[in-house]
Structure 1
């Protein structure tokens, strides 16, 4: 079941929630319809489990990157975006970011899934703000840098989905961390 969930996560990541049909999910997981529903529940429940699996994989990487110590705000940005660049460059996973792709399709999600996507993004923003504060940035500046870094991260995911090269994405990340 663990492997089936990993495969379902990849289907949602590659196709987005709207285009991740039950046929694509059964093909991707290797489970029949009955087994898929019996094991994971409906499509929304499977999506939420997939999103939680995604967080289990990538959240620790972001946590390590933000743990510091960082010499300043530029180092926080660079460390955070480096995790994104490594994930994007990984040939074993689809382009982009499951969380970003899910946010782009928020209206198609059920209320519980919408809340999970928003909570996940808010959690990243909060953790970034904490990392900036630990690096010596105060008040509204830390909040602004957190939001800007999060936006750059999400932009990298979209650009990778649009076919921009890893070199182009590295340029964006380098510019963002030098500002």
Structure 2
């Protein structure tokens, strides 16, 4: 078992650094594919210290998921803030942010949220709820942006923001799963461009 020195009840490890190691393990292996032994090895922390600092595996996963969102969520939120009146630009920036993350060879392949979503039905109740909230939150942001564009006339009146949002959010997660399974970035960029080209805008959008 991996151990760590202790002194008078003080933690002799960096909890945040250890948490980032846990993020990476869950990202690489998925929730079900990650054991406590995997976490001990990656975090350099004994099982007792994991439990006392973070709780059980489920608690640690929830903290890792929150940390992941805090690190990789801001570019997406910022895209929809900056381009509040143009969903095409906001969505293009969102796809670009996802593809930029995937092109970083220092990071695990894919996306922790997409990976967790693929395990959703076999996760425990709390992870299910956390992942579902993230998925619904993303869907709501995209839907709201598309509805704004339809009201302003940038999106065709006949467009259905709900189904379009589901398609685009699904495509973003599919890119992550394809990347995880070894599909090249050149293909992923073409998929993203095709998805954006299906938006029934009433103005000519620039290419991705």
Match of 1:148 in 2: 167
Q: Conserved in 2, the CA contact under 8 Å of 1:76 and 1:135? A: no
1:113 equivalent in alignment to 2:132: no
Q: Aligned partners of 1:140, 1:176: CA distance in 2, in Å? A: 15
More helix by share: 1
Larger relative contact order (C-alpha < 8 A, sep ≥ 6)? Answer: 1
TM-score (norm 1): 0.93
RMSD after superposition = 1.8
* 1:56-102 per-position Cα deviation (integer Å, ceiling 9, x unaligned): 11221110122243675433332221111111111221101101111
8 Å contact kept, 1:4–1:31: yes
- Is residue 37 from structure 1 mapped to residue 51 from structure 2 by the alignment? yes
State the SS of the aligned residue for 1:135: helix
Aligned partner of 1:19 in structure 2 is: 33
Pairs within 5 Å for 1:133-172? 133-136=147-150, 137=155, 141-172=160-191
Q: Secondary structure, in 3 states, of the residue corresponding to 1:96?
A: coil
Q: Which runs of 5+ in 1 are unaligned?
A: none
CA positional deviation for 1:139: 8.8
Counterpart of 1:46 (choices 60, 70, 77) is 60
Unpaired runs of at least 5, structure 2: 1-14, 199-208
**Aligned residue pairs, count:** 179
Q: 1:72 to 1:130 in 2, by over 3 A?
A: same
Contact 2:80/2:87 (8 A) holds in 1: no
Which 10-residue stretch deviates more, 63-72 or 20-29?
63-72
Q: Is the 8 A contact 1:77 1:176 kept in 2?
A: no
Matched, 1:83 2:97: yes
Q: Does 1:93 align with 2:87?
A: no
Q: Does the 8 A contact of 2:20 with 2:64 survive in 1? A: yes
Q: Secondary structure at the match of 2:92?
A: helix
What is the TM-score normalised by the length of structure 2? Answer: 0.80
In structure 2, the residue matched to 1:103 is: 117
Which of the two has higher C-alpha Rg? Answer: 2
- What CA distance in whole angstroms lies between the structure 2 residues aligned with 1:36 and 1:139? 53
8 Å CA contact retained: 2:83, 2:89: no
User: Is residue 2 from structure 1 mapped to residue 21 from structure 2 by the alignment?
Assistant: no
